[in-house]
Amino acid sequence: MRPDLLQSNERVDELYANNIKIIQSNEVFSFSLDAVLLAYFAQPILKPNGKIVDLCAGNGAIGLFLSAKSKAQIIEVEIQERLADMAKRSIKLNSLDKQIDVLNIDLNNVKNYIASDSVDTVTCNPPYFKNLITSKKNPNEYLAIARHEITVTLEQVIKETSSLLKMGGKFYMVHRPERFVEIIDLLRANRLAPKKIQMVYPKAGKEANMLLIEAIKDGKSGGVRFLEPIVVYKDNGEYTTKMQGILYGE
């Protein structure tokens, strides 16, 4: 561990399945199971000359996790300066400077930094909740921006994703099932054909609380596959065998 990379009130967590270490803090938004599951679900371009972009990157968890699956160049896009800085230091901590870069920019300006139609794979763990006047938001600005569409909306995420992707490029996103119909409508309106869907359930017998989706730019309509659901916890509160494999290695 390099103590020079840690600042006050920060810690290092690890995803043991990928042997990846990530700098985190209770003062800002930390990665959770949705990031782990998205990185597990995604099938990114593998070749070294490929390009992966992770939007709404936060402290860089998804890009770091994907580095264990792909040799492609990875670009993380995050608007919050503190989170982008944490991502940069986590990249150094894992000696991944040559593979991963961080852009501390507004997602809506991403085309000024990454050429349109140049990206093979886009991933995103976006804010889940609309920014309504009636929405109850966390007083912590970092958490509020991560959870609510304050700086970017679902429509903007999908529009920018479509612009970035090459024809045939793939988009992977984690979101909430209650916005499923809206997600499908926005994907199809932006030349992205839904192809794979996987629901995540906290426990057997409970309603799904996460949705993983793959879409292909300019892909043929139809042929959507619903994958076997992922159940996170057993009735006794322990991780299921599936989740243990995802977190600690198959």
Kindly report, residue by residue over 235-246, the tens digit of the pLDDT.
999 999 999 999
DSSP 4: G
Sequence-distant (6+) residues with CB within 8 A of 49 are 72, 73
Cβ pair 78, 91 in contact under 8 A: no
Cβ pair 201, 229 in contact under 8 A: yes
Given pLDDT bands bounded at 50, 70 and 90, which one contains residue 147?
Answer: confident
Sequence-distant (6+) residues with CB within 8 A of 106 are 79, 151, 152
Q: What percent of the chain has pLDDT over 90?
A: 78
The H or E element spanning position 212 is strand 210-217
Compute φ and ψ for 59, nearest 5 degrees: -90, 20
CA-based torsion, 140, 53, 202, 22: positive or negative:
negative
DSSP, residue by residue, 116-150: TT-EEEEEE----B---TT----SSHHHHHHHBSS
d(CA 70, CA 136): 39
- pLDDT greater at residue 176 or residue 1: 176
DSSP 99: T
Cβ pair 146, 127 in contact under 8 A: yes
**Angle 238-212-140 from CA coordinates, rounded to 5°:** 75
The pLDDT of residue 144 is 60
Q: What percent of the chain has pLDDT over 70?
A: 92
d(CA 164, CA 119): 6
Return the CATH fold of 3-248: Rossmann fold (3.40.50)
Q: The pTM is what? A: 0.94
Whether the pLDDT of residue 139 is over 70: the answer is no
d(CA 32, CA 34): 6
Joined tokens for residue 123: 């991933």
Q: Which residue ranges make up each domain of the chain?
A: 3-248
Least confident of 106-115, 143-152, 192-201, 223-232: 143-152
Cβ pair 209, 240 in contact under 8 A: no
Cβ pair 64, 91 in contact under 8 A: yes
